[in-house]
């Protein structure tokens, strides 16, 4: 064999100087071809859209169709197909065609009469994506601690209030875009979902085939955080009675631009098939963009998400897992889009921002993330159940919450629902760029419309010579004792040697921090307990949240600190500017001080 190798090498060297009988074909690249118009096309919305899609538009007082729903002119597509190397996507929404072509073919495409522009995608080499994980295997052995986590991930959102009202997502249709749903078709967590035929449709947009139960387990875990059940019937998410559309839009361990095309194709498919909500536990960041491009207008996928919202679909998207990445830290796209509900991660042990969750704001300084949910969950995976982490799982917890909220009032438009989801969060109207408006609460959303009595202030602002002091009022200084769990295998979570300092979360780099946090952080904490006999009642920590906003409402600094004394905060006046607003949220009440 060695001799053969040498012989082949010498033949290659001898042949090198001569002309090749078959010159190498010029390389192809990916192009986005925008078309001029849709003149003359015929379209019947009743024939194209499913009954569920038609009903969604009627509920939200949207037209039966608009020009973005019309098909792309077939003659334009034929002309492009005849010139390009291959066509990979035809988009009605954008009246555009994605294709692969050589530079010479791209030049010919630009001369076609129906073509408005031909734009190259930036060159990008596929690499391992930092936010994606290898397939996980579960176990049917569920500890008391894991069972407690499963109950808390829904109870933290007030899930019992939805259950008592009979809201479990019935009548809502949720589309999930992910890398694959390996094992979901056989998993006991979805036995009822499959038996009741509430899996409406599936499609793999990577390989253009119906089967999505391939490639990765990430989608299986995400689905379980909306519709999964433990063997004893404990729900892992808040909408186990919803209907589902499953779309594979991602390649495992790779990030390439074709995935954004697949996301767009899946969104058009979800719209046609009547999706009310899209859950997208995906994000695109430094593999193809710069942080300053996270403005909701640059990426194809952000523009596609915005258009989905215009069709009456709520888009819920994970904020991202780059909070500890010094080169990025910020949200990814499409979470950057203005009308996309970006969901950050919450630490179940502290009820503070979980370290890996990406920070806001968007590049144009809008509030992101919008809300938060547990970033550590118990989820279904092939073989059983697994404890896993990521804003990928915060997002479906909120998608299930949104389904119940919409079930309660189907007449809401998508942006009215978006607004309610922010307003029912436990920090609202306070916000910061780590927690958004906080953790949505079902009880606040279900509360009667009659105005509640105005609560008494919990803090006082006292302007002194050089500082603005924030003092806890005496009547708000009584903090109830916590009731700790008694499970034997949870002992390590409520004691031990872990670091117990409250982290300084997400201060903006535009201004130096005004104070340093201190004190101890409590172990395992939670909002006031609901009427659930299987859930250990715990009291939420008495954190004080505060920020400094400029006259445009953009935060210059923010911090969370544990309250250990009534004189909780002193802000040097030299760090404040005229027109700034200092906001403090303590025990559910937000108060403001306007700097003269």
Answer yes or no: is pLDDT of 166 > 60.
yes
Q: Which one from 299, 392, 490, 525 is the annotated catalytic residue?
A: 392
- pLDDT confidence band for 203 (50 / 70 / 90): very high
Identify whether 86 is a catalytic site residue: no
Rg (CA), the chain: 27
Answer yes or no: is pLDDT of 486 > 60.
no
pLDDT of residue 372: 98
- pLDDT confidence band for 198 (50 / 70 / 90): very high
- CA–CA distances in Å: residue 197 to residues 113, 210, 242, 586: 47, 16, 11, 46
- pLDDT confidence band for 290 (50 / 70 / 90): confident
Q: Which one from 178, 322, 336, 426 is the annotated catalytic residue?
A: 178
- Name the CATH code of domain 145-446 (choices 3.40.50.200, 3.40.50.1980, 2.30.30.40, 3.90.230.10): 3.40.50.200
Q: Which helix (H) or strand (E) holds 423?
A: helix 414-423
- CA–CA distances in Å: residue 154 to residues 74, 308, 311, 339, 388: 48, 27, 29, 24, 15
- Mean pLDDT along residues 501-528: 34
Q: Which one from 218, 353, 435, 547 is the annotated catalytic residue?
A: 218
Identify whether 286 is a catalytic site residue: no
- Mean pLDDT along residues 496-510: 33
**Residue ranges covered by each domain of the chain:** 29-120, 145-446, 459-477+539-595
Answer yes or no: is pLDDT of 532 > 90.
no
Answer yes or no: is pLDDT of 115 > 50.
yes
Q: What is the pLDDT of residues 117-127, one digit of tens each?
A: 999 986 543 33
- pLDDT confidence band for 520 (50 / 70 / 90): very low
The region of weakest confidence among 138-142, 175-179, 366-370 is 138-142
**Do 526 and 151 form a contact (C-beta atoms < 8 A)?**
no
pLDDT of residue 528: 40
- How far from the centroid of its chain's Cα atoms is residue 579's Cα? 33
- pLDDT confidence band for 456 (50 / 70 / 90): confident
pLDDT of residue 253: 56
Strand partners, 244: 174, 199
- Helix H, strand E, coil C: the string for 483-548 is CCCCCHHHHHHCCCCCCCECCCCCCCCCCCCCCCCCCECCCCCCCCCCCCCCCCCCCCCCEEEEEE
- pLDDT confidence band for 488 (50 / 70 / 90): very low
- Among 136, 348, 154, 139, residue whose Cα is nearest residue 234: 154
Phi, psi of 201 (to 5 degrees): -160, 155
Q: What percent of the chain has pLDDT over 70?
A: 81
Higher pLDDT, 490 or 309: 309
Identify whether 75 is a catalytic site residue: no
- pLDDT confidence band for 21 (50 / 70 / 90): low
């Amino acid at each position: 064999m060695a001799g053969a190798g040498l012989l082949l090498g010498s033949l290659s060297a001898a042949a090198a100087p001569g002309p090749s009988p078959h010159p190498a074909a010029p390389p192809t690249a990916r192009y986005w071809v925008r078309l001029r118009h849709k003149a003359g096309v015929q379209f019947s919305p009743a024939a194209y859209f499913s009954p569920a899609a038609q009903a969604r538009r009627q509920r939200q007082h949207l037209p039966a169709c608009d020009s973005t729903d019309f098909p792309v002119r077939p003659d334009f597509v034929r002309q492009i197909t005849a010139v390009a190397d291959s066509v990979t996507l035809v988009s009605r929404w954008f009246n555009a065609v994605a294709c692969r072509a050589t530079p010479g073919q791209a030049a010919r495409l630009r001369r076609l009469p129906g073509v408005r522009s031909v734009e190259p995608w930036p060159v990008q080499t596929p690499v391992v994506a930092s936010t994606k994980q290898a397939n996980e295997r579960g176990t049917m052995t569920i500890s008391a601690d894991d069972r407690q986590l499963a109950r808390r991930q829904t109870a933290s959102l007030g899930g019992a209030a939805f259950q008592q009202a009979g809201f479990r997502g019935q009548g809502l249709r949720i589309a999930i875009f992910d890398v694959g749903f390996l094992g979901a078709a056989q998993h006991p967590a979805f036995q009822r979902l499959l038996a009741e035929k509430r899996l409406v449709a599936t499609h793999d947009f990577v390989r253009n085939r119906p089967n999505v139960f391939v490639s990765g387990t990430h989608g299986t875990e995400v689905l379980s955080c909306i519709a999964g059940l433990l063997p004893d019937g404990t729900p892992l998410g808040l909408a186990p009675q919803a209907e589902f559309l499953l779309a594979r839009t991602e390649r495992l361990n790779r990030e390439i631009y074709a995935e954004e095309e697949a996301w767009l194709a899946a969104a058009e498919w979800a719209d046609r098939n009547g999706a009310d909500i899209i859950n997208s536990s995906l994000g695109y960041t430094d593999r193809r963009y710069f942080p300053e491009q996270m403005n909701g207008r640059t990426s194809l996928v952000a523009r596609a998400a915005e258009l989905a919202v215009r069709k009456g679909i709520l888009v819920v998207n994970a904020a991202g897992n780059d909070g500890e990445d010094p080169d990025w830290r910020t949200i990814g796209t499409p979470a950057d889009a203005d009308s996309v509900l970006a969901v950050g991660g919450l630490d179940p042990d502290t009820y503070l921002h979980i370290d890996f969750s990406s920070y806001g704001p968007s590049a144009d300084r809008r509030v992101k993330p919008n809300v938060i949910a547990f970033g550590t969950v118990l989820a279904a995976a092939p073989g059983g159940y697994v404890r896993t982490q990521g804003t990928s799982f915060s997002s479906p917890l909120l998608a299930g919450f949104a389904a119940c909220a919409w079930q309660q009032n189907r007449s809401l438009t998508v942006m009215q629902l978006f607004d309610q989801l922010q307003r029912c969060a436990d920090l609202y109207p306070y916000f910061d760029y780590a927690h958004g408006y906080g953790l949505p609460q079902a009880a606040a959303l279900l509360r009667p419309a009659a105005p509640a009595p105005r609560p008494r202030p919990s803090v006082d602002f006292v302007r002194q010579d050089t500082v603005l002091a924030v003092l806890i009022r005496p009547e708000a200084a009584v903090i109830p004792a916590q009731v700790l769990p008694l499970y034997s295998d949870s002992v390590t979570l409520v004691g031990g040697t872990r670091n117990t300092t409250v982290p300084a979360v997400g201060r903006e780099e535009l201004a130096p921090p005004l104070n340093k946090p201190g004190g101890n952080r409590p172990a395992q904490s939670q909002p006031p307990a609901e009427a659930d006999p299987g859930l250990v009642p715990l009291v939420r920590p008495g954190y004080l949240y505060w920020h400094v906003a400029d006259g445009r409402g953009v935060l210059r600094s923010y911090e969370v600190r544990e309250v250990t004394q009534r004189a909780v905060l002193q802000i040097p006046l030299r760090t404040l500017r005229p027109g700034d607003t200092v906001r403090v949220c303590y025990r559910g009440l937000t108060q403001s001080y306007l700097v003269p």
